[in-house]
């Protein structure tokens, strides 16, 4: 775990006006990682998110949180081109073991926000030698188009006041703190390098500032 300082003045990424969310459903969800309380939300623009909770948020302080961007190829199909699936399951295991925490599954963020079809088009360029940053730019797309205002609204609705964030990505830390949710600590997730994703992980580390000490 890494202690974090107070948020700095420099913010990575464009911030947008807050999107309200509506809680639309809640149920018990037994999984291979444990049994969670699943709370479904819908943004005003129709995008849906799912919060998976274990334990009680209580006073809202120091809540273990993972903000996980939807990845059909990694989470559902088991793609080895990214480490998204292993990160999701590691996060679920971690909060289940901790007995208190939230995995927030964020829809509409496929391919760092560019969408599924565009992600496959970017994969094709990567097969021709481009890295994940270059491929997006070649397609006229942003390197990272994700927005976390909906995620912040969900955390606030659940009573979260500050978090221990499971992430390798400094932009997620910056985004939460810019929206008034302090990140008191950051926790590494296990890294799962393979021959298929090693270049991708190195690009995230070297070009996007991700903390990936397990990547050679």
Q: What is the mean pLDDT of residues 44-72?
A: 95
Residue of 146, 147, 162, 186 marked active site:
146
Is 111 annotated to bind a ligand? Reply is yes
DSSP 100: S
Q: What is the mean pLDDT of residues 80-88?
A: 92
Pick the closest to residue 207 from 199, 94, 156 (CA basis): 199
- What pLDDT, on the 0 to 100 scale, is given for residue 215? 82
pTM above 0.75, yes or no: yes
Other CB atoms within a 10 A radius of the CB of residue 177 amount to: 19
- What pLDDT, on the 0 to 100 scale, is given for residue 9? 27
Residue of 131, 144, 147, 162 marked active site:
144
Q: Which two tokens stand for residue 114?
A: 């560019």
Q: Please tell me the CATH code under which domain 16-109+146-208 is placed.
A: 3.40.50.10990
State the average pLDDT for the chain. 88
The answer to whether residue 144 is catalytic is yes
Q: Which two tokens stand for residue 62?
A: 């120091």
Tell me the β-bridge partners of 101.
54
Least confident span in 4-8, 98-102, 104-108, 201-205: 4-8
Domain boundaries defined on the chain: 16-109+146-208
Instruction: Provide the percentage of residues in the chain whose pLDDT is more than 70.
Output: 91
Tokens 């500050």, located at residue: 162
The answer to whether 76 touches 193, Cβ cutoff 8 Å, is no
Q: What is the mean pLDDT of residues 91-103?
A: 97
């Amino acid at each position: 775990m890494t202690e974090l300082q107070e948020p700095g003045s420099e913010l990575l990424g464009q911030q947008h006006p807050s999107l309200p969310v509506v809680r639309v459903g809640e149920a018990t969800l037994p999984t291979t990682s444990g049994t969670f309380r699943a709370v479904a939300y819908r943004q005003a623009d129709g995008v849906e998110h799912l919060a998976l909770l274990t334990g009680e948020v209580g006073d809202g302080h120091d809540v273990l949180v993972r903000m996980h961007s939807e990845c059909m190829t990694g989470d559902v199909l088991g793609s080895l081109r990214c480490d998204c699936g292993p990160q999701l399951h590691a996060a679920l295991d971690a909060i289940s073991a901790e007995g208190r925490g939230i995995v927030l599954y964020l829809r509409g963020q496929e391919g760092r926000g560019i969408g599924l079809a565009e992600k496959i088009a970017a994969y094709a360029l990567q097969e021709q030698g481009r890295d994940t940053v270059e491929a997006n730019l070649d397609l006229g797309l942003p390197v990272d188009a994700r927005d976390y205002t909906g995620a912040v609204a969900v955390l606030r609705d659940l009573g979260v006041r500050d978090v221990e964030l499971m992430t390798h990505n400094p932009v997620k830390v910056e985004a939460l703190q810019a929206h008034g949710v302090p990140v008191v600590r950051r926790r590494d997730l296990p890294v799962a390098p393979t021959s298929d994703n090693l270049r991708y992980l190195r690009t995230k580390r070297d070009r996007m500032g991700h903390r990936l000490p397990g990547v050679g």
